[in-house]
Amino acid sequence: MNKFAFLIHPRNHVAEDLGRLYGAPLRWIPERVYTSAMRRLPLPPVVAGRISFPEAPSSGALIMVPLSAPLMLGMPRREVQNRVHVAVDAARDQGATLVGLGALTAPVTAGGKSLADRTDIGVTNGNAFTAAMTYLGIERLLERLPAHPVIALVGASGSVGSCVTRLLARRDCGELLLVARHTGRLEKLRAALPHPARATVSTDMADVRRADLVVLLTSASEALLRSEHLREGAIVLDDTQPRNTDPALLTERPDVLIVDGGVVEVPGMRMSGYIGLGRNLAYACLAETMLLSLAGHQGHYSVGEPTIEQAEEMLALAAEHRALGFHLAPFLSFGRPLEPRHAAPAPRPLAGFSA
């Protein structure tokens, strides 16, 4: 049997996350106690859940890295990477031959690059399938947009963002507004597109207000989406974990639709533990890890920036295992079904990308 592991970590509200996993009393412990313990003590990673496929020879473990999202981003990078290495050791000791990087464990390891020297276990950051599912989500949302929309990609030069940008640039779907921190990287990405004139670049979140569709692809604090960044009637596809939208936006801007990105339906899996989603749902980065394990993949896969070819290969694997699911889930907003007025079309069958 093929075995895999997937790294997770507590998000912004540690007490809430641990309470869901291990019992309500843990919710009563103040956040500052958890923060101090995680920062100062050499807490070991723990198995926070199991995944199996009754109809397929693969199983996996959810390995929790004992660092919250703020600590992942705020502690010295080398120290955080060392904690991730220890969690990968735990994955290997569980018998896994492949480990996927969930949430912030991917960006803090440069998309897995700091783990690339490991030969004892394969590593994937999950970003190839995430890019593919994000692209398909954008395709589905295009039906709701004007004929020639402005699509803002926030975090366009990142690991997922660069792949999504290249996928979108292969078709004429409107103007692409590429937003990130570094102009040089953005200009380099734009110059490599088939039609550079269809894309503009910016390092200013205020420019996002021009967009009909805003796709969030980075959890960087400076990319936190606020009400003033959104035009009237805008649609937001939030593909970040931890997410860069606040539920308060729903009341501040009832004219705006906020959709959770990168959520995949996998009814053929059985999962114990909690990852912030409902039954039969998984994030695309986890789904990539599962698909590679089901395919018997050996060695590293998506490390750094995924290629278009890898995104297409992941779609092909999803189609091969369609009996288990692995298709884009119906749209959710902050984990809940959309209101009837925003109801999404039925999922389309998986297929290759249009050229």
Does residue 136 sit in the same domain as residue 217?
A: yes
According to the model, what pLDDT value does residue 243 have? 85
Does residue 219 sit in the same domain as residue 151?
A: yes
Q: Identify whether 355 is part of a domain.
A: no
According to the model, what pLDDT value does residue 182 have? 94
According to the model, what pLDDT value does residue 253 have? 94
Does residue 104 sit in the same domain as residue 41?
A: yes
According to the model, what pLDDT value does residue 355 have? 43
According to the model, what pLDDT value does residue 31 have? 87
Does residue 62 sit in the same domain as residue 113?
A: yes
Q: Identify whether 92 is part of a domain.
A: yes
Total domain count, the chain: 2
According to the model, what pLDDT value does residue 223 have? 62
Owning domain of residue 175: 129-262+331-342
Does residue 197 sit in the same domain as residue 275?
A: no
d(CA 224, CA 208): 12
According to the model, what pLDDT value does residue 190 have? 97
Does residue 257 sit in the same domain as residue 145?
A: yes
Instruction: Give the pLDDT means over successive 10-residue stretches in the chain (355 positions).
Output: 94 79 79 91 93 93 95 95 98 98 96 97 98 97 94 96 96 94 96 95 96 92 84 96 87 94 97 92 98 97 97 98 96 87 54 52
Beta-carbon contacts of 170 under 8 Å, excluding residues fewer than 6 positions away, are 194, 353, 354, 355
Residue 277's CB is within 10 A of a number of other CB atoms, namely: 17
Q: Identify whether 116 is part of a domain.
A: yes
Does residue 213 sit in the same domain as residue 313?
A: no
According to the model, what pLDDT value does residue 348 have? 47
Does residue 138 sit in the same domain as residue 253?
A: yes
Residue 25's CB is within 10 A of a number of other CB atoms, namely: 9
